[in-house]
Amino acid sequence: MMSTNQLAMGGTYNFPLETNIFKVQQGDEPLRNFIIESYQPFIKKVVSKVCNRFIDQTMDEFSVGMVAFNEAINQYQKGQGSKFLTFADMVIRRRIIDFIRKESRQMRNIYLDQAEPGDENGMEESFVEQRAAIDYYEEKCQINERMEQIDSYQQLLLNYGITFDVLSKHCPKHADARENAKIAAKKLVEHKTLVQFLKKKKQLPIKDLLQFVSCSRKTIERNRKYIIALALIYIGDFSALKSYIEPEKETV
65 vs 63: CA distance, rounded Å: 5
C-alpha angle 189-26-90 in degrees, rounded to nearest 5: 60
Residues ≥6 apart with Cβ < 8 Å to 202: 159, 160, 161
pLDDT in tens, 173-229: 888 888 889 989 999 999 999 999 999 999 999 999 999 998 889 999 999 999 999
DSSP state, 76? -
Average pLDDT over residues 5-11: 39
Amino acid at position 28, single letter: D
Where do the structural domains in the chain lie, given as residue ranges? 39-158, 164-242
3-state secondary structure (DSSP) of residue 129: helix
* pLDDT the model gives residue 121: 53
161 vs 171: CA distance, rounded Å: 15
pLDDT in tens, 64-117: 999 999 999 999 987 666 689 988 998 998 888 888 877 766 545 444 444 455
